[in-house]
Structure 1
Amino acid sequence: MASSKYIVAGLAILGFCSTALAQADVKPMKIWNLTASTIVDLRLAPSGSNKFGRNLTLDDKDREIDVDERLTLRNVDPGLYDARVKLKNGRKCTLTGVKLEVGAIVSIEEKDLTNCPR
């Protein structure tokens, strides 16, 4: 008869393996640049908070999100955000109510760039 400590250890290993498999199936969140210009600065803040974080474009290999490029978001929780976007052409825009969901690809399109004071 197996000792109870071996049964507990086996259950712990099974739990760890099932958690690891579940996490492996989760696709990362991404931002897809569908504007007419390269994004050189992208910052997120919990919606309505005005507490913008670090420049997420620094996670890209060339530190920019080119037109039609997707940026994988690292260390960002799902939720509702406001975004500050600075484009290579000089435009600085704020988007409100950007909904990030696990595995989702959220596009930023030219039509979304309405709040761009000069």
Structure 2
Amino acid sequence: MLKGLGNIGDMAKMMKQAQEMQTKMAQMQDDLQSIIVTGESGAGLVKATATAKGDLTGLDIDPSIFVPSEKEVAEDLILAAIKDAQAKAADRAKSEMGKITEGLGLPADFKLPF
């Protein structure tokens, strides 16, 4: 396409790849908002639902954990479920990012955005 122009051809190719990456990144950000992950604690007594972006969207709490004398246990289970959901969201986001970098021929651990 741009043969004979030396490094200008390479630069045009790099610019095109950068634009493709930017488009894919924007799409991925939208996709992460619709991917749902669920974190659990207490063998499923507490479940936290979040988007892959890490936004908490819901809690499902088994009523059996609401014993007044066990208030701290209930709080710990809720926090643990939220942290689990956030960790799963981060892992999923990293996985989705890996798909983009792999598709562009970049190393799997390549950090985006720059």
TM-score normalised to structure 2 length:
0.34
Quick check: which one's helix share is greater?
Answer: 2
Kindly name which structure, 1 or 2, has the bigger radius of gyration based on alpha carbons: 2
The answer to which structure, 1 or 2, has the higher relative contact order (CA under 8 A, 6+ apart) is: 1
Quick check: which one's strand share is greater?
Answer: 1
